[in-house]
Amino acid sequence: MKYFDTVSLDKNKRDNRFFVVSLIAVILLLTIFVDPRNVSVLACDFKNMTGHNCLTCGMSRSFYSFAQLDIPGAFKYHLLGPPLYLFLLLTLAKFSIELWTKTEYKTRISSLWRRVFFMVLILLWAGYWIAGLV
């Protein structure tokens, strides 16, 4: 059974992939080497103004914990941090392979299932945030 369709990457898609790979690589490298608990520039303005966590409060600490292989700590800081970190790792791997082979690998998942997945993810994220406000 074939799970991917392959298409040659045109110049525009290669440039986009290169940008995304570079951005994700910088984010992941920062999560390995920079402890966000020691960096005041990462303070949350939303929390400072309202007294409540924003949607991403704890995400950088969660990423850092995950990169240091502190999995329980990563989930403690933000429930969706570890899944998002894994998604970034998989995206980095997929796009890097596509750049290397100059071939785009398209999944055969229907657009309906993709929309359902992202809607469920957004609802989970919003529910997690609202539960933290209560």
How far is residue 44's CA from residue 56's CA, in Å, rounded to a whole number?
9
Q: Has residue 127 been placed in a domain?
A: no
Average pLDDT, the chain: 87
Q: Has residue 122 been placed in a domain?
A: no
> 6 and 105 in contact (C-beta within 8 Å)?
yes
Q: Has residue 123 been placed in a domain?
A: no
Percent of the chain, pLDDT > 70? Answer: 93
pTM: 0.81
Q: Has residue 103 been placed in a domain?
A: yes
Q: Has residue 29 been placed in a domain?
A: yes
Q: Has residue 88 been placed in a domain?
A: yes
Q: Has residue 24 been placed in a domain?
A: yes
Q: Which of 38, 37, 32 is nearest to 64 (CA)?
A: 32
- Domain span including residue 52: 4-108
pLDDT digits (tens, 9 = 90+) for 52-76: 777 778 888 899 999 999 999 999 9
Crossing angle for the helix pair 11-33 and 59-67, nearest 10 degrees? 80
Tokens of 61: 């600490």
pLDDT digits (tens, 9 = 90+) for 86-106: 999 999 999 999 999 999 988
Q: What's the Cα-to-Cα distance from 89 to each of 8, 14, 20, 23, rounded to whole Å?
A: 23, 18, 12, 12
Q: How many domains does the chain have?
A: 1
Q: Has residue 124 been placed in a domain?
A: no
Percent of the chain, pLDDT > 90? Answer: 49
